[in-house]
């Protein structure tokens, strides 16, 4: 018995020693530089939608489908991120493959998010050619100055990862004094058949640029885009820490001759052309108890007025009534294709508030972050609110459970979406 006890103590001690040794081991092979580097993640994301059968967008998109109250969707994603370095040259590619099982059956889509070559001859200059994201702007939920990026979803801003084919460079210069950094990023963006043809008018070479200054501890960017694919646009943004736990940021964007199409309640399409000035003001605040608040106000001058959106919803209702009485869905199809896809934007109207509150590691649960995200449409008083639980405590595994509730009266943006609510689980494994 005593022998067992001694053996147990020895085993425990040796285990403890192994642990202690492990605790402080740092093998140099872990930091070895490899020319070829491949990583990425695998993701499983089931989503359950609770449908709002009386909403305009349900009538528009699912009028000829079953009358179920809920809809399921299963998403499987593989993202591969690889790079190869030789001297000052680097090749980088990100490929994303989505498999989806929804009410439409199985679908598969593979997209090259990024694929470019970089030349980095010095720390003051680099040159890139290929498909690349630029991600301009300081806003968290919206970026009116991101003239060369695909629009992001304010409910999940990290999802917009697909870039455009561009030729770009960075010239960087540091100084002593109030101006600490100056950098200039010129960008050439070709828009032709099969190259960036979803960006704007084809057969044009567009030119854009960004000047970045770190001036008096404030990040400031001046941005422009000119060319035939879109009308000229100019903008600026800033970001600054006020104290060690408080940051403010903002964006201002001018779009010359912005063309907006909208439909009235009779189905007549109108076109309007005007100079649009959009802006965003935001802050990030961290409390002593590790709660982070991100708050933003966004005025989007390219959005629809309340009456324009009401007309659109009213036209859908009319089309749906016609379909029910005669089986004729031509009005619904017209509504669906109306206004060149302007009605498919993530946020349709002009004035929004965004608030995200996240609490780091409450109740001493390491790697656990619950949060709450709200988007409020100030024009029609509809909103979405989404509690979220994120756990990253298992090495390379990220678990996220997210629910979103959409609330609003009739003919309001969030009230007329096709879902009342949705719940999704995201399991992501990084390798």
- Considering only residues 204 to 223 of the shown chain, the ones binding other proteins according to CB under 8 A are 212, 214, 216-217, 219
Q: Looking at residues 335 to 354 of the shown chain, list those that interact with other proteins (rule: CB under 8 A).
A: none
Q: How many CA atoms lie within 13 A of 303 on its CB side?
A: 25
Q: Looking at residues 232 to 251 of the shown chain, list those that interact with other proteins (rule: CB under 8 A).
A: 239-241, 243-247, 249
Q: Is 193 in the site for other proteins (CB under 8 A)?
A: no
Q: Which of 2, 5, 24, 64 binds other proteins (CB under 8 A)?
A: 24
Q: Is 420 exposed, middle or buried (0-12, 13-18, 19+ CB in 10 A)?
A: buried
- Please state the length of the chain: 431
From residue 220, alpha-carbon distances to 135, 168, 184, 287 in Å are: 15, 20, 12, 26
Q: Judged by CB under 8 A, which stretch of 29-37, 298-306, 323-331, 379-387 contacts other proteins?
A: 29-37
Q: Which of 6, 9, 14, 39 binds other proteins (CB under 8 A)?
A: 39
Q: Which of 12, 69, 107, 174 binds other proteins (CB under 8 A)?
A: 174
Q: Which is nearer to other proteins, 241 or 337 (CB)?
A: 241
Q: Which is nearer to other proteins, 177 or 327 (CB)?
A: 177
Q: Is 362 in the site for other proteins (CB under 8 A)?
A: no
Helix (H) or strand (E) holding 298: strand 291-299
Task: Give the Cα separation of 246 and 240 in Å (integer).
Answer: 9
Q: Is 123 in the site for other proteins (CB under 8 A)?
A: yes
Q: Looking at residues 299 to 338 of the shown chain, list those that interact with other proteins (rule: CB under 8 A).
A: none
Q: Is 176 in the site for other proteins (CB under 8 A)?
A: yes
Q: Looking at residues 379 to 398 of the shown chain, list those that interact with other proteins (rule: CB under 8 A).
A: 392-393, 395-398
Q: How many helices (H) and strands (E) does the chain have?
A: 4, 18
Closest to 281 (Cα-Cα) out of 420, 126, 147, 139:
139
Q: How many CA atoms lie within 13 A of 271 on its CB side?
A: 5
| Nearest approach, Cβ of residue 430 and other proteins (Å) | 4
CA 416 to chain centre: 22
DSSP state letters, 86-98: ETTEEEEEEEEEE
Q: Is 286 in the site for other proteins (CB under 8 A)?
A: yes
| Nearest approach, Cβ of residue 164 and other proteins (Å) | 13
Q: Judged by CB under 8 A, which stretch of 118-126, 199-207, 265-273, 302-310 contacts other proteins?
A: 118-126
Q: Is 150 in the site for other proteins (CB under 8 A)?
A: no
3-state secondary structure of 326: helix
- Bridge pairing between strands 351-359 and 36-51: unpaired
Q: Is 19 in the site for other proteins (CB under 8 A)?
A: yes
Q: Is 363 in the site for other proteins (CB under 8 A)?
A: no
CA angle 344, 405, 102 (to 5 degrees): 60
Q: Which of 81, 311, 317, 342 binds other proteins (CB under 8 A)?
A: 81
Q: Is 162 in the site for other proteins (CB under 8 A)?
A: no
| Nearest approach, Cβ of residue 173 and other proteins (Å) | 7
Q: Is 23 in the site for other proteins (CB under 8 A)?
A: yes
Q: Which is nearer to other proteins, 176 or 198 (CB)?
A: 176
Helix-, strand-, coil-residue percentages of the chain, each rounded to 5? 15, 55, 30
Q: Is 86 in the site for other proteins (CB under 8 A)?
A: no
Tokens encoding 232 = 């000229």
Tokens encoding 31 = 């930091």
């Amino acid at each position: 018995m005593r022998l067992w006890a001694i053996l147990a103590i020895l085993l425990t001690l040796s285990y403890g020693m192994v642990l202690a040794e492990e605790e402080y081991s740092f093998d140099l092979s872990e930091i070895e530089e490899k020319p070829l580097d491949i990583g990425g993640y695998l993701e499983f994301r089931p989503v359950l939608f609770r449908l709002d059968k009386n909403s305009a967008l349900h009538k528009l998109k699912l009028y000829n489908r079953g009358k179920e109250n809920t809809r399921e969707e299963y998403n499987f994603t593989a993202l591969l991120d690889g790079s190869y370095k030789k001297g000052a040259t680097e090749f980088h590619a990100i490929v994303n493959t989505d498999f989806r099982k929804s009410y439409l059956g199985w679908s598969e889509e593979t997209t090259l998010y990024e694929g470019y070559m970089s030349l980095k001859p010095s720390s003051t200059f680099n040159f890139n050619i290929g498909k690349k994201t630029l991600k301009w702007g300081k806003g968290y939920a919206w970026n009116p100055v991101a003239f060369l990026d695909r629009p992001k979803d304010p409910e999940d801003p990290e999802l917009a990862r697909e870039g455009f084919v561009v030729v770009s460079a960075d010239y960087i210069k540091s100084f002593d004094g109030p101006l600490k950094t100056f950098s200039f990023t010129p960008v050439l963006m070709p828009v032709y058949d099969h190259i960036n043809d979803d960006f704007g008018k084809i057969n044009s070479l567009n030119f854009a640029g960004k000047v970045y200054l770190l001036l008096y501890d404030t990040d400031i960017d001046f941005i422009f885009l000119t060319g035939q694919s879109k009308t000229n646009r100019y903008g600026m943004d800033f970001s600054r820490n006020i104290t060690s736990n408080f940051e403010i940021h903002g964006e201002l964007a001018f779009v010359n001759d912005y063309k907006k199409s909208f439909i009235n309640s009779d189905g007549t399409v109108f076109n309007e052309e005007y100079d649009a000035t959009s802006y965003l003001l935001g802050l990030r605040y961290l409390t002593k108890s590790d709660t982070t608040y991100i708050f933003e106000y966004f005025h989007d001058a390219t959005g629809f007025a309340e009456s324009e959106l009401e007309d659109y919803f009213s036209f859908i209702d009319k089309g749906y009534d016609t379909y029910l009485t005669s089986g004729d869905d031509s009005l619904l199809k017209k509504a669906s294709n109306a206004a060149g896809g302007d009605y498919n934007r993530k946020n349709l109207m002009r004035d929004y508030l965004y608030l995200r509150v996240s609490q780091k590691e409450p109740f001493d649960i390491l790697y656990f972050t619950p949060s709450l995200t709200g988007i409020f449409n100030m024009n029609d008083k509809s909103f979405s609110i989404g509690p979220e639980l994120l756990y990253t405590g298992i090495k390379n595994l990220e678990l996220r459970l997210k629910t979103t509730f959409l609330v609003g009266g009739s003919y309001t943006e969030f009230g007329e979406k096709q879902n009342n609510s949705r719940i999704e689980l995201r399991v992501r494994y990084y390798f």
